């Protein structure tokens, strides 16, 4: 007997490694000291301009969005999603990316698929100046179905200690919402159940209200807000950020508010995209359940001082970033809604 | 319909989070600036004593050792394994741990199981002075069977640039092998196929030659060599390290040897533990296939100058660490065997 008969193909893994190595290299900068294939990725950070640098690290997955990717046969977008999600998570603390690592686990080692996934990582890593310095690709027959896989991403960034967020949030601060590109990477188990099981659609269903196939709408890449928000962070115009991921508004906005303060959101202050309405109607889902499962069209909430509002809106506009005033910081706790 | 009916239980997830938070806190040191639950974990590294600090990052999983954990109903050991594996991977570059993050994906959110896994992370993180500063726990029905799960770990460490390994490996250097505690985290798909399918054993089978149940032997925790090797790294007595993981000797020793040099290993220079012999005989597996799948009883290979050998052996002995001279560095490439 050999390892291959037990479902683990080391030769296919070596082929995948060569593809990964070449793609990762396109994301490197002068701080990266090792090629992919070392036991650990070595990175010499440029911290000379920081008084008190703090590393900010985060890990995440893309959930069962992968199931949609598999059905549609498109794998680079979930790779991109994973990096964008991680970049947003450390941005919430005011941090800019230093480097990224990935974990891919598959039921069957498929070098072509691994290359598509890593191409997605590499595209995002290049876009966000965040080198892909290492990773692990594991073939795990028995845990994953032959065609199935899972992803985890890991990012490290840096922030000046005194500039880290949240910082100085007060009653009366304005909540600005920045639009998401779709579900991003949350709520797919519920969305798939409603859209595919209850409504009987497939990824290739053309839905006129979406203007595209359902697969394309569901796989729309997770947006990163790094480009839009970096200049505002540099100018100290942001008091807090909340990345609207699993748990929705209620699960994420309170994470960055001080004790004694809550968020008051204005229902109808932005247009909820059709995809969310389709899911809500198809599954007869309550407003509350929708808001604690999905981002409802808002991917990032920016907390700003009322006196900075005009400046911030103007800066976002110049970067072609739409924003909506969706509420304010109030005394209390959690998230409440104003009709 | 709601998220729970689609298989995702946010309330159970919140219960798990509270348990994780308390366990992670037991691993914190003064560098950790955030509690678990922030979007990113903040860590202020103490780098004052470094001339040119380099961050070393690595990610890994524990493969289908998880399947054994599930059958045996024991989950804290695979948590420990994951941290020990990651600690060893950056040790190979000479780096000491700064912090760790985990990714847990499950078919069904089970707060008790999550607590057991995280208890394993926390025990290892405390032992290796490597705080657990963040993580992600994802419920993914459809990807994982209800009772199944996967783990990924991410570690960041630091090394002085001029002290990073490998460094100065030469022809004639000695290869010292340090004993593993068992399969560590590699080759479980093949081991399970032979032991459970071909030989019909279960995790509760008492095997006299192992002196324990098969489950206990297979779940023996991955050893970290940090404690044994840190004093030797500090005294500059090590030229290279190779962590014997997936790919075995041939897949790992050449990764740390310069172009033009290979490893010559002495067959029989250490006792191959019974567990490996049992698998080899049960599956009629060739010597070569065994050596490229399993660690064969050697978890870490230490490359030392012949003039330092006595000193290194003595230092290891004082720390109750066994070592075997298993071969030497020779002209050539890859790994060859001397009978």
With cut-offs at 50, 70 and 90, classify the pLDDT of residue B181. very high
CB contact under 8 A, A54 and B43: yes
A187 vs B319: CA distance, rounded Å = 51
How close, in Å, is residue B11 to chain A by CA atoms? 10
- ipTM associated with this complex: 0.95
Parse chain A into domains and list their residue ranges.
10-163, 174-338
User: pLDDT by residue (tens digit) across B35-78?
Assistant: 888 899 999 999 989 999 999 999 999 999 999 999 999 999 99
Alpha carbon of B264 to those of B253, B259, B271, B335: distances in Å? 10, 15, 17, 6
Q: Which residues of B touch A141 (CB under 8 A)?
A: 64, 189
What pLDDT score does B9 carry?
84
pLDDT greater than 90 at residue B12: no
Q: Which of B38, B57, B61 sits opposite A105 (nearest CB)?
A: B61
Q: What percent of chain B has pLDDT over 90?
A: 91
- Extract the residue ranges of chain A whose pLDDT is less than 70: none
CB contact under 8 A, A141 and B42: no
How close, in Å, is residue A162 to chain B by CA atoms? 12
Nearest residue on chain A to B250, judged by CA atoms? A10
With cut-offs at 50, 70 and 90, classify the pLDDT of residue B15. confident
How close, in Å, is residue B53 to chain A by CA atoms? 7
How close, in Å, is residue A191 to chain B by CA atoms? 9
What pLDDT score does B290 carry?
95
Q: Is the domain defined by B174-338 classed in CATH 3.90.650.10?
A: yes
Q: Which of B5, B45, B57 to mutate to test the interface with A (most CBs of A within 10 A)?
A: B57
CB contact under 8 A, A189 and B53: no
Q: Which residues of B touch A189 (CB under 8 A)?
A: 3, 6-8, 139-142
CB contact under 8 A, B55 and A105: no
B297 vs B51: CA distance, rounded Å = 38
CA angle A129, A130, A135 (to 5 degrees): 150
Does residue B58 contact residue A41 with C-beta atoms inside 8 Å?
A: yes
Q: Which residues of B touch A101 (CB under 8 A)?
A: 57-59, 154
Mean pLDDT for all residues in chain B: 96
How many Cα atoms sit within 13 Å of A212 on the Cβ side? 11
What pLDDT score does B284 carry?
97
What pLDDT score does B18 carry?
87
Nearest Cα to Cα of residue B166 among A42, A85, A276, A99: A42
Q: Which of B30, B139, B154, B160 to mutate to test the interface with A (most CBs of A within 10 A)?
A: B154
What pLDDT score does A65 carry?
97
CB contact under 8 A, B55 and A64: no
What pLDDT score does B315 carry?
97
Q: Which residues of A touch B246 (CB under 8 A)?
A: 10
User: pLDDT by residue (tens digit) across B201-259?
Assistant: 999 999 999 999 999 999 999 999 999 999 999 999 999 999 999 899 999 999 999 99
The torsion angles phi and psi of B330, rounded to 5 degrees, stand at: -130, 165
Residue with tokens 């009322």: A306
CB contact under 8 A, A59 and B92: no
What pLDDT score does B36 carry?
87
How close, in Å, is residue B240 to chain A by CA atoms? 12
A194 vs A98: CA distance, rounded Å = 39
Q: Which residues of A touch B193 (CB under 8 A)?
A: 1, 5-7
Neighbouring C-beta atoms of residue A285, cutoff 10 Å:
22
CB contact under 8 A, B198 and A152: no
CATH code of the domain made up of A10-163: 3.30.1330.10
How close, in Å, is residue A213 to chain B by CA atoms? 23
Three-state DSSP class for residue B324:
strand
Nearest residue on chain A to B147, judged by CA atoms? A143
How many Cα atoms sit within 13 Å of A166 on the Cβ side? 24
Neighbouring C-beta atoms of residue A211, cutoff 10 Å:
10
With cut-offs at 50, 70 and 90, classify the pLDDT of residue B274. very high
Distance of CA A99 to the CA centre of its chain: 15
CB contact under 8 A, B39 and A58: yes
Neighbouring C-beta atoms of residue A248, cutoff 10 Å:
24
What pLDDT score does A9 carry?
84
Within 8 A by CB and 6+ apart from B103, the residues are A59, A60, A61, A103, A152, A154, B135, B136, B138, B151, B152, B153, B154
A135 vs A36: CA distance, rounded Å = 8
Lowest mean pLDDT among A114-128, B15-29, B89-103: B15-29
User: pLDDT by residue (tens digit) across B101-152?
Assistant: 999 999 999 999 999 999 999 999 999 999 999 999 999 988 999 999 999 9
A44 vs A99: CA distance, rounded Å = 10
What pLDDT score does A300 carry?
98
Q: Which of B57, B159, B243 sits opposite A41 (nearest CB)?
A: B57
What pLDDT score does A2 carry?
87
- Report whether the peptide linkage leading into residue A166 is cis, meaning its omega lies within 30 degrees of zero: yes
pLDDT greater than 90 at residue B7: no
Which residue pairs, CB below 8 angstroms and at least 24 apart, start in A14-22?
A: A15/A111, A16/A109, A16/A111, A16/A114, A16/A115, A16/A137, A17/A137, A19/A111, A19/A114, A19/A115, A19/A118, A20/A114, A20/A115, A20/A118, A20/A135, A20/A137
């Amino acid at each position: 007997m050999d390892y291959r008969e037990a479902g683990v193909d080391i030769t296919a893994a070596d082929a995948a490694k060569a593809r990964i190595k070449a793609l990762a290299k396109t994301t490197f900068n002068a701080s990266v000291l090792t090629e992919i294939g070392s036991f650990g990725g070595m990175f010499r950070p440029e911290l000379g301009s920081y008084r008190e640098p703090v590393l900010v690290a985060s890990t995440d997955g893309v959930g069962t969005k992968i199931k949609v990717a598999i059905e549609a046969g498109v794998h680079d977008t979930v790779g991109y999603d994973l990096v964008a999600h991680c970049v947003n998570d450390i941005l919430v603390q005011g941090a800019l990316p230093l480097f990224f690592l990935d974990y891919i686990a598959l039921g069957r080692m498929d070098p072509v698929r691994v290359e598509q996934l890593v191409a997605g990582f590499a595209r995002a890593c290049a876009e966000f100046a965040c080198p892909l310095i290492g990773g692990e690709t594991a073939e795990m027959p028995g845990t994953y179905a032959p065609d199935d896989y899972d992803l985890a991403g890991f990012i490290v960034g840096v922030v000046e200690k005194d500039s880290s967020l949240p910082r100085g949030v007060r009653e009366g601060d304005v909540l600005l919402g920045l639009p998401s590109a779709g579900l991003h990477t949350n709520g797919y188990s519920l969305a798939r159940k409603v859209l595919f099981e209850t409504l009987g659609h497939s990824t290739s269903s053309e839905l006129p209200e979406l203007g595209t196939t359902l697969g394309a709408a569901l796989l729309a890449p997770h947006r990163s807000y790094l480009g839009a928000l970096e200049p505002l962070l540099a100018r100290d115009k942001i008091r807090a950020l909340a990345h609207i991921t699993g748990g929705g508004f209620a699960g994420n906005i309170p994470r960055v508010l001080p004790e004694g303060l809550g968020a008051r959101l204005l229902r109808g202050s932005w247009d909820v995209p059709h995809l969310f309405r389709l899911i809500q109607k198809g599954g007869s889902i309550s407003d509350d359940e929708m808001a604690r499962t999905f981002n409802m069209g808002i991917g990032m909430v920016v907390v700003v001082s009322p006196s900075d509002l005009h400046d911030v809106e103007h800066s976002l506009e110049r970067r072609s970033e739409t924003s909506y005033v969706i509420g304010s910081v109030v005394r209390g706790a959690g998230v409440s809604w104003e009709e």
